[in-house]
Structure 1
Amino acid sequence: MRPLTVVSPGGGEVIGDSPTRRVEILSDRPPVHATVARLAAGQEGADLHVHYEHSDLFYVLAGEVTVRLGLEDRQLTVPAGALARVPPGVVHGFRNAGQVEMRYLNFHAPGCDFATYMRGLRDSVKVVYDQHDPPADGGRPLTEAEVSQGVGVLTDVDAIRVERLDGVTEPRTFHALASYWALEGDLKLTAGAQETYAPEGSWVQIPPGHEHAVDGSFLRVTAPSSTG
């Protein structure tokens, strides 16, 4: 099945790796930039900031993420198996306020050069990117941030759709960039007579226009949203 990109566990582009934090880039395609990361207990993730052109999303794989919201720094705890979406204009940051290491996926949709910004941090190169200091008026209402969990659609806005699914899907062609994260066990992708297997913790990305079916326990991320 080609063209298809498979990033095996631990095989992303490494931005940083230390006992307290590791970050890998999984996708730098314009519709969605994605990373997978771990953060030790008690560690800060990002100070309060705001994006004006894109949404910032966190899917928690293990532990819990504390999302910080607004100038008042409201603390929102997001457990494993849940997705938090912070829309453009909402002031936010995050930390690991828990007692154990957390692991999470981070999506920026559209990408807005997030991956380039992360490479700049790694390489000590200043990159201008859609990240700004919190505005004096506090930005958009904190209530616009959302947290969802369970099986099915977790979020669906123009820029991105995220679903948590189990089992076999019918063959389908997306008119969007389709990405998959293997949550538990192997992920099987089938296109015609060709099958591709990706182990748990893999990221698989398929360009628009390629019919395929998926079998396993996985996240499906389509960017922009593709509900047809």
Structure 2
Amino acid sequence: MAHSYSSSAILTTTIKFCLLFSLLLGMVSAQLSPTFYATSCPNALSTINSAVNSAVSSEKRMGASLLRLHFHDCFVNASGTNWTVQLGRRDSTTASLSAANSNIPAPTLNLSGLLSAFSNKGFTAKELVALSGSHTIGQARCTVFRTRIYNETNIDSSFATSLKSNCPSTGGDNNLAPLDLTSPTSFDNAYFKNLISNKGLLHSDQQLFNGGSTDSQVNAYSSNSASFLTDFANAMVKMGNLSPLTGTSGQIRTNCRKAN
């Protein structure tokens, strides 16, 4: 994955400074708050916003990468639109490969598996569909969607053919394809329109519109972009509140890649 290192460096440095300063002041909280750094680091949000915008401008995949990071973090350790981010979440002191494998919904899941995975975290079917709409941006590797384009029948034939040119039956595992072929760098409701046309890239994507209980919600979002954006933002806030580590629980990592 390509990165804008200058923007990432600014973002990382700012976050480290603000979090450490906050810790030194003893500002521990029992819950998340959108104003968590208002006193300890009042310029935090504007600086982070500027750095993220710069990073996304330099590398369009960055927006999808950040969404994926948030999703994976919240599901394991439990832009296109805007919402008020709840701040003050601490880092975990442990990491678990087995927890990641068992908690993160796999792209091979059928609808029943997706509904169960999200229900286990307290999400409704409607919220599952809304959050899946994040696939309106980002890309996936050939190895993740190869089985679908060569073996499944609920896929538009011309769509499958176009993908096969970049994803051969053998080899090319890391070749990429956009999750939303229509507008891959725009956060919109095209993802749902694609599903109705049997142009979902992942098996799990098309399961949301395959004669099951979520078909009606996909139809609703495909015709009402505003409804999708509102529901997506609300679901993201809810996901951010999945059993967060706050106050003296967890830690503020000096290196995001590993526990202190």
TM-score (norm 2): 0.24
Please state which structure has a larger fraction of its residues in strand: 1
TM-score (norm 1): 0.26
Structure number with bigger Rg: 2
Answer 1 or 2: higher relative contact order, Cα 8 Å, separation at least 6.
Answer: 2
Please state which structure has a larger fraction of its residues in helix: 2
